[in-house]
Each structure stands twice: as C-alpha cells, then as structure tokens.
C-alpha cells in the first residue's frame, strides 16, 4: 500500500527530495489557522463562541487524523520514524557542540519529541474543551455528562493548557528561525512544497509515501469519530 516516490519524481525535482506528503502538510497549516481562529473567537466572545465550538470540532478531527496517520501514513509522518529514545535524543543534542547536522530526513530527534508534546497538549485541549463551560451560554457537547465542579476544573485546565500550547508554538517558531539563521536550513518551504534540497540528506534517500486512498479513508474515520464523540 506504499510507493517509492523518490525514483519517479527525482528527475523533475531538480536536486530536491520529496519529504513531506500532502496530508501531513495540510494538517500542519490547517492546525495553525484553526488555533489562531480559536484564540480570536474566545477574545471576541458572544456569538463567536459558537464558531469557537465548531472550530474545536475541526481541531478534534485533525487530531484524530494525525494520530492515525502516525501509524498508517507515509514514512516521515509515522511515529516509528521520528520518535527516538531519550539516549538517542541526548546524543543528538550533544552533537550540537560540534555543529553537526542531522543525518536523516523528516523530524530530527528533538523535533520528534516536540511533535509528541504538541499532540499531547492538543489532546488535553480538545478533551477538556468537550466538557468545558463558560457558565453563561456556551458549554462543550459532553458537559451534561459530568458534575459542575468537575466541569469547572476541566474548564480551568482548558484555559491553562491553551497558554502552554501557545508557548509550544512560540518555541517551535523560534527553533525554525534558529535553524535558518544558524544552520542555514529553511524548514518552512519544505512544509509548503513538500520538497527539500537533496544535499541535506544522505545519498540514496528513499521516502515511501502512503497511497492517497489511505489518506482519504483515514480522514473519513476521523470525521466519523468526531461526529460520534460530539453526538454521544
């Protein structure tokens, strides 16, 4: 159910390697837009809280998709590819003193752990949002299932975790800028085009991509899962 994209596309890439698939890139940028929208809708309040809840449903769908894609998706999207052991990660951090570069493709060890932290924080945010309430007009779809004190506690966590989520995003942006200024690596363009310069990767790099229909089916499962949770 996978294909070797490198051999078919290399002649037209002019020295670039296809690293990131379309689903992973779409997830990334849609999530950026949705988090910005969720932040704005909360501060606008009023009728925008209804849109905030709709946005939360969309984030839940993206989250379910990405978690599933981490197991069935393309090689660079799979957790097995970029989640490294603490020992490997520490070794990579120590290599910075020698200004060593990451000898691989996709997320480096630190980036892999950052993705994991972001997905955990996002899961907490979405999970608590399902039960949260503003004690006025807006409450999560699963709020009626719990007691008021529990709802208040989860609402508090929902607010605190969003600040932590924003801190993770800020750290990510700083890391991207440093990669550009210090290491000379542009991480933004590859996440837009899916392609990165060949000289950054080991010779004979082969990135295997999941069949498009796997992405379609995974998205369908994510949409169905969100619908079932919201209408529980």
Question: How many structural domains are present in the chain?
Answer: 1
pLDDT beyond 80 at 204? no
**In-domain check, residue 28:** yes
Residues 6+ apart with CB under 8 A from 219: 23, 65
* pLDDT tens per residue, range 22-34: 999 999 999 999 9
The pLDDT, as a whole number, for residue 205 is 63
CATH at residue 99: 1.20.950.20
pTM comes to 0.88
* pLDDT tens per residue, range 43-98: 998 889 999 999 999 999 999 999 999 999 999 999 999 999 999 889 888 887 66
**In-domain check, residue 2:** no
- Is residue 18 helix, strand or coil? strand
* pLDDT tens per residue, range 114-129: 999 999 999 999 999 9
**In-domain check, residue 97:** yes
Tokens representing 137 are 């007009």
**In-domain check, residue 29:** yes
pLDDT confidence of 13, banded at 50, 70, 90?
very low
Q: Cβ distance 22 to 218 under 8 Å? A: no
Distance CA 9, CA 7 (A): 6
Distance CA 84, CA 216 (A): 28
The residue range of the domain holding 149 is: 19-230
**In-domain check, residue 13:** no
**In-domain check, residue 10:** no
Q: How many residues does the chain have?
A: 232
């Amino acid at each position: 159910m996978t294909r070797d994209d490198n051999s078919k596309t290399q002649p037209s890439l002019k020295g670039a390697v296809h690293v990131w698939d379309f689903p992973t890139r779409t997830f990334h940028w849609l999530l950026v837009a949705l988090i910005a929208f969720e932040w704005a809708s909360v501060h606008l309040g009023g009728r925008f809280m209804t849109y905030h809840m709709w946005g939360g449903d969309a984030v839940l769908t993206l989250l379910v998709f990405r978690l599933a894609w981490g197991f069935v998706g393309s090689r660079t999207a799979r957790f097995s590819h970029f989640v490294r052991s603490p020992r490997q990660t520490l070794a990579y951090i120590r290599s910075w003193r020698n200004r060593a570069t990451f000898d691989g493709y996709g997320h480096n060890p630190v980036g892999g752990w950052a993705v994991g932290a972001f997905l955990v924080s996002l899961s907490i945010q979405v999970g608590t949002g399902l039960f949260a309430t503003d004690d006025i007009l807006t409450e999560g779809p699963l709020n009626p299932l719990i007691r008021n004190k529990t709802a208040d506690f989860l609402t508090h966590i929902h607010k605190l975790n969003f600040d932590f989520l924003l801190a993770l995003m800020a750290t990510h942006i700083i890391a991207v800028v440093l990669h550009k200024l210090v290491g000379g690596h542009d991480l933004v363009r590859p996440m837009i085009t899916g392609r990165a310069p060949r000289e950054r990767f080991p010779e004979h790099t082969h990135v295997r991509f999941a069949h498009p229909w796997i992405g379609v089916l995974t998205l369908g499962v994510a949409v169905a899962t969100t619908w079932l949770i919201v209408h529980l």
